[in-house]
Amino acid sequence: MLEFRLARATAAATFALLVIGGMVHATGSSLACPDWPLCYGQFFPAMEGGVLFEHGHRLVALAVSVLTVALAVTVWRRRRETAVRVGSLLALALVLFQASLGALTVVWKLPLVVSSGHLATSMAFFSVLVWLAWRLAPAGPDAESPAAPGRVRALAGAAALGVYLQIVLGALVRHTGSGLACGTSVVLCEGAAWQVAGPAQLVTLHRFVGVAVALLVVAAAVAALRTGPSRARRVASLAAPLVLLQVLLGAWTVWSLVSVPVVSLHLAGGALLLADSLLLVFHLGPRPASQHAGRDRLPGLVPAAG
C-alpha cells in the first residue's frame, strides 16, 4: 500500500535525520549557519566544515517535512479510520513544531531548554511515525493471534516510556557539555556511586536511569517471549541485544572522550531501541480490525499489491 510505504520511508528518513542532528551538535556545528532557514543568505552555500553538517541537516529536515505532508495527504485521501487520520495530522503538527524549535535554536543561540526540547520533539515525531507504519501495515499471517495479557502490555509500555525519557535525559547531558564530568570512569564518578551536585550529578543520574530502563526493557522482552503472540516475540528477541549494544556504546562514548562517531552511534542506538520498544507495545496488543481486511480504505479504492 502506498500509505504504508510512505510511512515506512518517512520513519527511515527521520531516523537518518536524528543521527545527522546528533552529528551537528557533536561537531560543534549548531551555529555554523548564523541565519535560518537559509545559510549566509543562500539555499546552497558552500557545503564544507560546519556548514556541511548544519545545512545538510536542514536539507534532510526539508525532505522529511515533504514526506510527512505527502503521508498526511495520502492517508486522508485513501483512509477513513479516524485514528490513522489523526495520527497523520499529529505527525504533521510535530514536524512543523520541530522546524520552529530548530529556528529558535539558531535565533536564540542554543538555549538549553530549546535545544533539549528539539531532541525530545524529534523522538516524539519518530514515535508517531513508527506507530503509523505499524498501523498502516498489511496484516501478516499471525494477525489473528490473541493479544498478550494486560500486565505484559503495561510493562512494555513502561519500558518504552522509560527509553524515551532516558534519551531526553541523555540530550541534557550532551547539551550541558557534561559527558566527561566523571572522567573516563563508567562505573563510579570521582570515586563515588552518586554525586550530589553539578554536571557529575546529571551524568550519574543518566547512568542510574539507564540501568533501570535496561532492566525494564529486558523484563518486558522476557515477558513477551513467554506469553506474547508470535508477532511480538520477533520484536522482543531484538530488545536484549539492542540494550547491550546501547550500554556498550554509552561506555565507549566516555572512553573515546566523546568521539563524534561514537556519540552518533549512541544516539542511533537509542532511536532503534525506542522503535523496538514501541513496536513491542503495539504487537502485544490486538491487531486493529482494519489490518485484517482493509476495512479502513475509502470506497472505490483498489488495494495496492504487496
Question: Would you say residue 189 has pLDDT above 60?
Answer: yes
Confidence of residue 295 (pLDDT cuts 50, 70, 90): very low
Predicted confidence band of residue 143 (pLDDT cuts 50, 70, 90): low
In whole angstroms, give the CA distance from residue 297 to residue 4: 12
pLDDT at 121: 95
Q: Which element (helix H / strand E) includes 1?
A: none
Contact 242, 269 (CB under 8 A): yes
Q: Which amino acid type is present at position 293?
A: A
The predicted pLDDT at position 305 comes to: 40
Q: Which residue has the higher pLDDT, 220 or 101?
A: 220
For 106-139, b/e burial (b = at least 16 CB within 10 A) is beeeeeeebbbbbbbbbbbbbbbbbbbbbbbeee
Q: What is the mean pLDDT of residues 209-225?
A: 96
Residue 104 pLDDT:
86
DSSP state of 78: H
pLDDT of residue 301: 52
| pLDDT recorded at residue 197 | 85
How far is Cα 221 from Cα 65, in angstroms, rounded to an integer? 33
42 three-class SS:
strand
Q: Where are the domains of the chain?
A: 1-138, 143-290
Which three cell numbers mark 190?
570521582
Unique residue bearing C-alpha cell 573516563: 184
- Residue 167: band (very low, low, confident or very high) from pLDDT cuts 50, 70, 90: very high
Question: Given a cut of 60, is residue 89 above it in pLDDT?
Answer: yes
DSSP 186: S
Distance CA 165, CA 162 (A): 5
Task: Give residue 116's pLDDT.
Answer: 85
pLDDT of 165 over the 50 cut: yes
Q: What is the mean pLDDT of residues 104-133?
A: 90
Q: How far apart are the first and last CA of the chain?
A: 7
* Mean pLDDT, range 170-199, rounded to an integer: 89
137-144: long-range contacts (C-beta < 8 A, 24 or more apart)? 137/4, 137/291, 138/1, 138/4, 138/291, 138/294, 138/306, 139/287, 139/291, 139/292, 139/293, 140/231, 142/229, 142/230, 142/231, 143/231, 143/287, 143/291, 143/292, 144/287, 144/292
The Cα 103–Cα 118 span in angstroms is 10
Task: Decide if pLDDT at 154 tops 90.
Answer: yes
What mean pLDDT do residues 293-299 have? 50
What percent of the chain lies above the pLDDT cut of 70?
A: 92
- DSSP for 267-306, written as a single string: HHHHHHHHHHHHHHHHHHSPPPTHHHH-TTBPTTPPPPP-
* 245-289 residue pLDDT tens: 999 999 999 999 999 999 999 999 999 999 999 999 999 988 776
Tell me what pLDDT residue 303 has: 46
On average, the pLDDT of the chain sits at 89
- pLDDT per position as a tens digit, 15-64: 999 999 999 988 888 889 988 888 999 998 999 999 999 999 999 999 99
